[in-house]
Structure 1
Amino acid sequence: MGELRTKKRGKSWEYSFECARVDGKRKSISKGGFRTKADALAAGTAAKAEYDNAGVVFRPSEISLADYLDFWLKTFVKTNCTDNTYDSYASAIRIHIKPALGHYKLASLTPATIQQWVDSLKNEKGLSAQSMANFRGVLSGALKYAIYPCGYLKTNPCSLTRPPKVPVDPHHKMHIEHICVGDEWEDIRNHFNGTCYYLPLMICYYTGFRIGECFGLDLARDVDFSRHTITVSRQLQQDLDKKWCYKNPKYDSFRTIKIGATLESLLKSEITVMKMNRLRYGEYYTKTYVDQNNYLHWLPADQTAPAEYTEVWPLVKENGEMLNNNSMKYCVRIIKRMGYVDFRAHCLRHTHGTILAESGASPKAIMERLGHKNIKTTMERYITNTELLQNQAVDLFEAATSTTKKIVYR
């Protein structure tokens, strides 16, 4: 390639350098408008280095781990993960990874260096086994990206490390997700019945949907009364600028599941009420639209929406104002004030899975309703081993062994 050149044009300076030929013709890259020759030379040097590295603005052999992690967050995580995931990864990097390892060169990281850091998470910070696994997993994922597709590393030094063992306290009770049944669920239902928050609670209880999936529903498109199904095709989330938008469901768990008569009746009633409220409120009714980039917009009913907007029918208040994930947070605060301090919105999802298991549903059916990638997640995290399930296991064993013939040895 040609050498970097600088040239004065009038009162300003420009840089230029020759690049690869295209169709046999010589090509060059140039930029002007710099106040001094030194400014042009500095900018040209940076531009030529980026060009020589096929668009990468750094030399992989020289970049620090801290700068590489910033690059990974920007180019991979922000593009391919949800904003919540981005926030959690960025937090882990800022608080736990950069302070200990960020000053090392990416190319010089060794398993021993990483193992010392992992051990320090236990010995110095006293973190739980799960937290240590999470932070090590973030670093390992970033280094895998450095191998492929980037080609900055040949091996992942994290793969040769292991999390330290954490002694098991026999008196420590493992956290079991709260299950909302019986009088508690009846009290909650009765308290919110007749309000706009009733349907979201019932949807989560009767489907096991994630909160974002519930508020991502479009009642005009996602409910099929002829087939008795409801479809998860998106989730409602806020981006890093706190703007509401639709994103793919977690783990791309698009799915269509069957619904029963109770929820179907509620959904039919809601759609009817929404149509009546549109007429009653007239120009004061708020309509919800989604643009081509999946961002949401709200306009008065008498205002014409731009051609690129598509109207959706989400869960709404009486005047058409859209409910969102924060609406469920409000419900949770009220429920805790009612005395149910262990209640979380996510426990309705666990409740749905556990009730299905207690009623004899197959694990695969439960997995598909909840939208999990594998059966292990369903069985380990979303089906609580209730007393009923334990009694069922004993009863089944007793029934099986009571009919077994005794073997007599001679």
Structure 2
Amino acid sequence: MWVEDLPNGKYKFVEWYSNEKNGKRKRVSVTLNSKSAQAKNKAQQLLNNKIAKKKTSIETKNLKFKDCFTEFFEFKTKRWAPSTTENMRSTYNVYIKTADLYDYYLDKITILDIQKLLDDIQYEQNKCAQITNRVKLLISGCFKYMSVYHDYTYNLEFSTLKVKPIKKRKSIQFIDSKDLPGELAKIRQELNEIQGDLIEVMILTGMRFGEVTALTIDDFNGSEITINKSIDSRSKRKAGTTKTPHSNRVIQTNDRINELINKNISLNRLRFGNEARLIFANRNNNPMLLTPINDKIKKVNKDYTSHTMRHTHISLLVENNFDIKYIMDRVGHADVKTTLEIYTHITKKQKEEAKVKLNKLVTF
């Protein structure tokens, strides 16, 4: 380390180091107000930290975006849920891998290059905002990954990128509590008995279809259900991780849930003997498929899906004044948005009903 006097009265402490990846010598420096023994010790420590950080970074000057993205994508696929990985892989192959900037040098990519790609997707190809946002998320995620894990500095303001607003989705569908007995009876008429039991358990627990079809006898202890896996329809009905880490949870059951689960466990033992593991199994002792069940549910109401049952459970909890935090924990919501949307709808209905009751309090 050596010290250089600066015109402004400060002191630059400089040190050489060798880049382990290419053998080239480089230098780092820090500027301090003093060159005392204490300042030198501090400077040496700062320089050592800089050198250590530089040695863990990669040379990005001649690195292409595609090389960085390959590493980033491999890193993320180990952490995403299988369904997310498939969605992102499809987006990557169709929209990013075919883009001009895929072959650009990383440090030559501008925010305009990215905006042009997004505009091509949303205006020329007329794709939805969800796809465009996914492309934006992947590209920005790659740069952030390089920044965190390879000390790469970039000056791209991803917040300035323009994406068409997402079309407002339909209001969340759920079955009103007063209609529920009749609607469940209609749904059961369209389904076989086991499918009907599965749907009722979804209404009583708020589990996602993939979660309830993944349940095994080991996940039920008589009073609680442990939810730690989900069936992904795109992976040949194999059990994988839940939708998000927050989806892993333990929920309480009630007498009706216990009755339905114990009934199906007993039935499966008669059907499959020692091979019986699933709680809700088809005739081949495999997890049930979503599409045939959804098709039958839609015969009752074209807007119904299996997810309607999950939202119905949330609405029942709201109506019965369960705390929002409890509801989120029970259904595995990391984001309060869906919970609040149902909560707002239910409380609005309750206020309207209260108004009617207030008008009938007394007559003079």
Q: Is the 8 A contact 2:226 2:251 kept in 1?
A: yes
Distance 2:82 2:110 in 1: 31
Aligned to 2:306, the other structure's residue is in SS state: coil
Check whether the contact 1:114–1:157 (CA below 8 A) recurs between aligned residues: no
CA contact (8 A) 2:228 2:249 kept: yes
Cα drift, residue 274 of structure 1? 2.6
Q: In the alignment, what sits opposite 1:154? A: 153
Q: 1:213 aligns with which of 187, 211, 214?
A: 211
Q: Per-residue displacement from partner, 1:88-129 (whole Å, max 9, x unpaired)? A: 112222233332531322222223332343344444344444
Which position in structure 2 is the counterpart of 1:391? 349
**Percent identity of equivalent pairs:** 22
Letter aligned with residue 197 of structure 1:
Q
Q: In structure 1, the residue corresponding to 2:322 is in which secondary structure? A: coil
Q: Secondary structure at the match of 1:148?
A: helix
Among 259, 269, 274, the residue aligned to 1:265? 259
- Give 1:261 deviation, angstroms: 1.7
The within-5 A match list for 1:48-127 is 60-74=60-74, 76-98=75-97, 99-127=99-127
Question: Which residue of 1 is the match for residue 321 of structure 2?
Answer: 360
> Which residue is 1:246 aligned to?
240
* Map of 1:255 onto structure 2: 249
**Contact 1:208/1:352, CA 8 A, preserved across alignment:** yes
- In structure 2, distance between residues paired with 1:342 and 1:85: 25
- 1:316 is matched with 281
Structure ranking higher on relative contact order (CA contacts 8 Å, 6+ apart): 2
**Any conservation in 2 of the 1:213–1:235 contact (CA below 8 Å)?**
yes
Mapped contact 2:229–2:239 kept (Cα < 8 A): no
Please give the alpha-carbon distance, in whole angstroms, between the structure 1 residues aligned to 2:244 and 2:330.
14
Of stretches 358-367 and 121-130 in structure 1, the one that deviates more from structure 2 is 121-130
Partner in structure 2 of residue 374 of structure 1: 335
Q: Structure 2-normalised TM-score? A: 0.70
Q: 1:186 to 1:313 in 2, by over 3 A?
A: closer
Helix, strand or coil for the counterpart of 1:157? Answer: coil
The one-letter amino acid of 2:208's match is: R
Instruction: Point out where structure 2 has 5 or more consecutive residues left out of the alignment.
Output: 1-19, 22-53, 359-364
In structure 2, relative to structure 1, the CA distance for the partners of 1:277 and 1:119 (3 Å cut) is closer
Q: Distance in 2 between matches of 1:361 and 1:190?
A: 31
Of Structure 1 and Structure 2, the greater strand share is in 1
Q: Is the 8 A contact 1:118 1:132 kept in 2?
A: yes
Query: Are 1:224 and 2:221 matched, yes or no?
Result: yes
Q: CA deviation at 1:207?
A: 1.0
What is the match of residue 292 of structure 2? 330
For the residues of structure 2 that align with 1:156 and 1:263, how far apart are their CA atoms?
A: 55
- Superposition deviation, residue 187 in structure 1: 0.4
Q: The residue matched to 1:346 in structure 2 has which SS? A: helix
How many Å separate the matches in 2 of 1:189 and 1:163?
A: 47
> Which whole-Å deviations, capped at 9, do the CAs of 1:155-203 have from their partners, x for residues lacking one?
362534233464x9xxx87412332453433201233353x32232122
Q: Within 1, Cα distance between the matches of 2:82 and 2:153?
A: 30
Q: By how many angstroms is 1:146 displaced?
A: 1.4
Partners in 1 of 2:122 and 2:233 — Cα distance? Answer: 34
Question: What is the aligned-residue RMSD (CA, Å)?
Answer: 3.7
Contact 1:350 1:384 survives alignment (8 Å): no
Q: Distance in 1 between matches of 2:230 and 2:55?
A: 36
Question: Offset at 1:396?
Answer: 5.7
How many residues are paired up? 305
Q: Which residue of 2 aligns with 1:305?
A: none
